[in-house]
Structure 1
Amino acid sequence: MTSSGSGLGESDLAEVLAAVRAFVRERVVPAEAEIEQTDAIPAELRAEAARMGLFGFAIPAEYGGLGLSMSEEVRLVAELGYTTPSFRSMFGTNNGIAGHVLLEGATEEQKQTYLPKIASGEWTASFALTEEGAGSDPAGLATTAVRKDDGWVINGSKRYITNAPSADVLMVFARTDPAATGGDGISVFMVERATPGVSVAPKDVKMGQAGSLTADVHFDDVRVGSETLVGGEAGEGRGYRTAMRCLAHGRIHIAALCVGMAQRLVDESVAYAASRSQGGQVIGAYQLIQGLLADSATDLYAARALVTQTAAAFDDGSDTRIGPSCAKYFASEAVGRIADRAVQIHGGAGYMRGVPVERFYRDARLFRIYEGTSQIQQLVIARQLLRDAAAPGAAGVRGAS
């Protein structure tokens, strides 16, 4: 597992966190209604995010990024999660699953060539794995890459690809060995959006997360050079294994994002309960409302603690599989519960468009689906536990004391 970086150090990190917190709360939060209405991030917010280094916070410094460790990254992402998740999504794939394809699988020459463009925000990257018949299970992956002269020809379609409408480069997963099954025989290619034969369908109309753009992408006899194969010749057939390593990092990242949204929802809930009067007193004085607040605060505390511990274990290499899945599973389910309680605390007001908790209720639903559904996380966790139990000298659940 390739580490994102060795870290900034506490004092430098504190400065970054303070700057990001101020930017999010003073600039992005006031723009939430506009983002919801226009389904777009204002250009000035994107430009400022790039100047702050947010397109490359998880990319090592030698490639132009901030080089945050996982433990540092989750603290930053929690700050980003306090506002509409579409803001983080704008640069999330650069730092996450798309950028990590290069960090995990690319040659040094490829890293030097491509990562600085991704880290600076010059390029927006997309992770093109999902297809109509291949999401959680790679067995149905139908996109193909066939050798042609000194390169490859790619044909196929991808679905629900984040940032596809604005992407400059796509990490495209294609089957290069037609005889292989499952995750075998799949390679990943860096395909620039402007390459002839690449077309992006109209953006999807989603339940929530307005401003985070997704769309289908089609590849019609797309010719790419051999240098676009991630990892060079040695990378052929190793694409799916690279994807799985990227997803481990991405799952912790999404879990931290859920913690940030959970904090915002708790704050909105407490503020409303402390100010809304009913029956001659604020509703927070009623024990049933207090129970909802207490349950949400407990979910928030538990999610934050789990994400913090999981990030530390990821950094030291002691747990790069069960922990990420546990964190993503718990935090995404927890923020859904917290969002539901927030709407309940707001009563009828919580069902009205324009009220933040109504928007976050819709936004939160996606967290239980992407980067691996909750059900996939259950399978990952249980299967790894059973493998560990069957190993010689098994000593119980990792992380337990």
Structure 2
Amino acid sequence: MSTSHGPAAPDPLDFLAVDSSLSAEERAVRDTVREFGRRELLPHVAEWFAAGTIPDPHGLARKFGQLGLLGMHLDGYGCPGAGAVAYGLACRELEAVDSGLRSFVSVQGSLAMTAIHRYGSEEQKQQWLPRMAAGEAIGCFGLTEPDSGSDPGAMRTRARRVGADWVLTGTKMWITNGSVADVAVVWAGTEEGIRGFLVPAGTPGFTATVIERKLSLRASITAALSLDEVRLPDSARLPLAAGLRAPLSCLTEARYGIVWGAAGAARACYEAALEYATSREQFGQPIAAFQLTQRKLAEMVVDVNQASLTALHLGRLKEAGACHHYQVSFGKLANVAAAQRVAAKARSVHGANGITLDYPVLRHLLNLETVATYEGTEEIHTLSLGQAVTGISAFR
């Protein structure tokens, strides 16, 4: 007769044991970022959200740099060269605290630093990447404009040659870290097509204005960039960036981080709801005992674990060099939608308490409204998947 009692019951906080397949190094990254987030960020993030800013972005950048989180997936120039899954785990743990904090790291590493690393000259890499990796310099990424969000090819910002120099004129919108950045990666149309330029803060004609009155992603700094006859030497141009494919490739890197980040936001909301439901009593028993609450928790745990599996699988594909940008669109679309469902259910489990900053659920729900929009809206990623499965583009 067998004496086996069968497998252990699932862990409610990792129901499908997704993290059991992580390597020791990946677990170390997970634990380090999670502990840092809970110690250094979580006690303050509700206050930052209420204030609508990050009080000391340069200090925060240096802390992220000390942890090796800035450009952590890049090689050389002071960057750790971590694997895709390790980077994803860092994004997951940061967004479990707040989407704005993951966005800070994502814009720095996956957008600004990746653009310089992939398309910059050796001089540009040496000048900026080590400082950015250490958090001694902050970068931003100027692609979106007031009249061209989902259609970046319709951008109106222009760069024209004047002698040996370039002169840039235009406006960029919704730029994370724009007003605190030491350098902006700005994309502009030229006679030869779209090109990228490095615009240092303080360049004459270049201004950044903080966008106020946001109701989402408030623990983050968002700005509009204005370029009024900004004159730059040709050495400011990213020499290997030609066409729209260059900035879009950077967006794919950022979207990959969002796939993991959304899983983190979903997990945080589910964990908060589970704790609340098992401790909050009504009608003489915990609300977790009621069928309707259990259904919400069951649906949440399914979404959380499916999102985690999607993120991990895409990470393994990425590490194998086999992850197509259509698959990243799949992950972004699926995981953000899952996180929104989880956050909404978690808010309802919390009842009236769920609308306060004493609990994280509505903060995450509001943030996810932005996450669903930036780096490609739900509609854009839906059409990307439609094009992938039919071979027919519905964009034009």
- Taking structure 1 as the reference length, the TM-score comes to 0.88
Correspondent of 2:256 among 249, 252, 257: 252
Residue 326 of structure 1 and its aligned partner are, at CA, apart by 0.3
Matched, 1:195 2:203: yes
Residue 51 of structure 1 and its aligned partner are, at CA, apart by 1.8
Which residue pairs with 2:296 in the alignment? 292
Structure-to-structure mapping, 1:238-249, within 5 angstroms: 238-249=242-253
Residue 355 of structure 1 and its aligned partner are, at CA, apart by 2.8
1:226-273 CA distances to partner (integer Å, 9 max, x unpaired)? 011112xx54xx141111111111111011111111111010000010
Whole-Å separation in 2 of the counterparts to 1:149 and 1:45? 41
Which residue pairs with 2:118 in the alignment? 104
Gaps of 5+ in 2: 1-21
Q: Which amino acid aligns with 2:199?
A: V
Which residue pairs with 1:357 in the alignment? 361
Q: Does the C-alpha gap of structure 1 residues 272 and 63 become closer, same or farther in structure 2, counting only changes over 3 Å?
A: same
Whole-Å separation in 2 of the counterparts to 1:64 and 1:10? 23
Which residue pairs with 1:28 in the alignment? 41
Whole-Å separation in 2 of the counterparts to 1:138 and 1:84? 27
Matched, 1:65 2:73: no
Which residue pairs with 2:194 in the alignment? 186
Aligned length: 370
- Taking structure 2 as the reference length, the TM-score comes to 0.89
Correspondent of 2:236 among 228, 234, 244: 228
Which residue pairs with 1:316 in the alignment? 320
1:331-359 CA distances to partner (integer Å, 9 max, x unpaired)? 11111111100111111221234332121
Residue 15 of structure 1 and its aligned partner are, at CA, apart by 3.0
Whole-Å separation in 1 of the counterparts to 2:212 and 2:345? 28
SS of residue paired to 2:210: coil
The RMSD of aligned alpha carbons is 1.9
Which residue pairs with 1:41 in the alignment? 54
Q: Does the C-alpha gap of structure 1 residues 272 and 252 become closer, same or farther in structure 2, counting only changes over 3 Å?
A: same
1:146-203 CA distances to partner (integer Å, 9 max, x unpaired)? 01111100001111111111111111010012xx7xxxx1111111111110011233
Whole-Å separation in 1 of the counterparts to 2:40 and 2:152? 40
Correspondent of 2:66 among 51, 54, 59: 51
Whole-Å separation in 2 of the counterparts to 1:118 and 1:152? 25
Matched, 1:18 2:22: no
Which residue pairs with 1:214 in the alignment? 222
Structure-to-structure mapping, 1:319-330, within 5 angstroms: 319-330=323-334
Gaps of 5+ in 1: 1-8, 389-401
Whole-Å separation in 1 of the counterparts to 2:94 and 2:220? 14
Which residue pairs with 2:137 in the alignment? 123
Q: Is the 8 A contact 1:145 1:176 kept in 2?
A: yes
Residue 42 of structure 1 and its aligned partner are, at CA, apart by 4.5
Q: Is the 8 A contact 1:273 1:284 kept in 2?
A: yes
SS of residue paired to 2:350: helix
SS of residue paired to 1:156: strand
SS of residue paired to 1:16: helix
SS of residue paired to 2:273: helix
